Structure 1
Amino acid sequence: MIFLRKILFPLALLYWIITYIRNFLYDFGLFKSQSFTIPIIAVGNLSVGGTGKTPQIEYLIRLLKDYKVATLSRGYKRVSKGYVLASENTSPTDLGDEPFQFYYKFPKVLVAVDANRRNGIAELLKHKPDVILLDDAFQHRKVKAGFYILLTTYNDLFSDDYILPFGNLREPEMGKKRANLIIVTKCPNDLSEIAQVKIKQQLMVTVPVYFSTIVYDTYLYSETNKIEIKTFKEEKVLVAGIAKPDLFFDFLGNQNDEKLVFPDHHDFNEDDIKKILAVANDRKIVTTEKDYVRLKGKIPNEQLYYLPIQSKLIQNETNFNTKILDYVGKSSGNS
């Protein structure tokens, strides 16, 4: 691994230079960012994948329940092109798994996808939302959001990482300066204040830093049924196609359970389904919410279950909520 990193270092240096110049040109107005007269909150990260953007977007949706909320994502690995607004006629392949999950869970929310965020916002404005949540848009500099939330994971802080392909950072660490606040995600729920202070020092930022943990539901859900987890003692098959499935496996897995791992955002084909069903051998199949929307309809409803999760702030939840609600309530634009 060390040898490979040494080989990749020149490429990482070149990538660092390119992303630094790009950000410099935006920061000094030589490349133009478009602002909109509506509150826009961008949620993203400096690294690739697995920082918990989806549960954080869902947290904001719940927090902003008194507003007409819209979400805009790129729609990673979807088969459609251009702007698509979720409706009863769209599927996970039209939207991508995470946007479809938003639509499935929050049918009153406007859910749209468009790789061109400027165009996507312009199209959403025709539906007169009160606030737009940009999913995974921290590096999308063509749009200037009014509020930026930067996520970094407890076990993989951006301050400990390196630029691609030497490490996992999409841009130099100095990009953190664009954030209005930072959330350290996937923390132990008993993270001490001393540990929090140490992490804040490592991140070296002047904006507020919050700490969140993953909270699992007490039930597993199918299309028509639910099972309380503490009473569920059967052997089962756990299926995960997410970036970092260890927490999911650790929470649900028993010694005799079988685990099947697929790539993040995996499109389950016919061979995958045959393999899952063969391994399950009539046992229940439990998966993540994101995988469920792609497996639903391909596996018998009575056999397929999923485990919902939520993001929960360890401390200062009221303070965080107030910052978001104040921004949305008082903001008349993003200039």
Structure 2
Amino acid sequence: MSSFNDALENAERAEDGVATESGLTLDDNRMASLVFGQYDQNLARIERRLNVSLNANGNQVVIKGQAEAVGHARRVLQILWARARSGHPATMGDVDGAIQECALQGNLFPKESPQPRSTFEQISTRKKGLVRARTAAQDLYLRELKRFELVFAAGPAGTGKTWLAVGHAVSLLEQGVVERLILSRPAVEAGERLGFLPGDMREKVDPYLRPIYDALQEFMDPRMVERGMQTGMIEVAPLAFMRGRTLSNACVLLDEAQNATSMQMKMFLTRLGEGSRMIVTGDPTQTDLPPGQRSGLGEAVELLKGVEGVGIVTFEDADVVRHDLVRRIVGAYEAAARREREKVVPRSNIDKDWSP
């Protein structure tokens, strides 16, 4: 039996750009509630993002709008339905990911196939099981991590750069591809002065490395994380501690790399040893370095672009997978930055023949 039974109230197939209406009936009321979300919040999200109207009644939903948008919405519901059948409720982030996925794939789903077949990469987590990339950029990121020994990921907060990198690093450790994980960040305060921090070295650097700990515990049991750190299988250290080392048979992650100076970045990249992988992540727009000091992340991306064995992935504000408000906040800051850049008019563009 088909997962979706078409109940077309307007049977004519309209051309793109022409308003149309399509009805879908899900064959399981409980699954329908997982697809629609609590108080139909998933349907409301699809309405806002795709500019369509979705009216749910029990296990039925009627989609109204432009033909292309209606088709897009149907494919999104198919992806959410497939997720519900696997026993997972669809979150707001899953809705955004399904919309991105459909935009990438277009009309690749054959009409005779009731279940969508996603080409997006997947990663396994301890808490949520198998998780699929939610955006085309995340999918590319996971593919590049598998292909290259050194991968740079640059883009705004909330795009999953660190989370996916930690997940990939843990999978390499579990598969025996590497023998240890080395996770690092520059110990730079985000516009604040923390002053003297009490405790031993680990307690002093923990505040800077907390996001990496949080991501680790998404993929590993906390007891395994603690045991790994005691045995040296997992090492979390500030960037300054990398100097003079050769890191072999390890997966090395540098997070918040926009706060690394040019010299620090060169030092870090040259630590790569035999059988190792390196992942460098950061948001170039959130640099906490002193004014006038160039970020090593941007410089490294420019210099190593096109170098064999190096993968570079750039995330945009549309790839933000946190709260929808985060996407709008990032978009507002990006728009403001563009306006500022447009205000700067090169002197060569001024009409030299103009006279008062």
TM-score, length of structure 1 as denominator length: 0.27
Query: Whose relative contact order is higher, 1 or 2, with alpha carbons under 8 Å and at least 6 apart?
Result: 1
Larger Rg over CA atoms: 2
Greater helix fraction, Structure 1 or Structure 2: 2
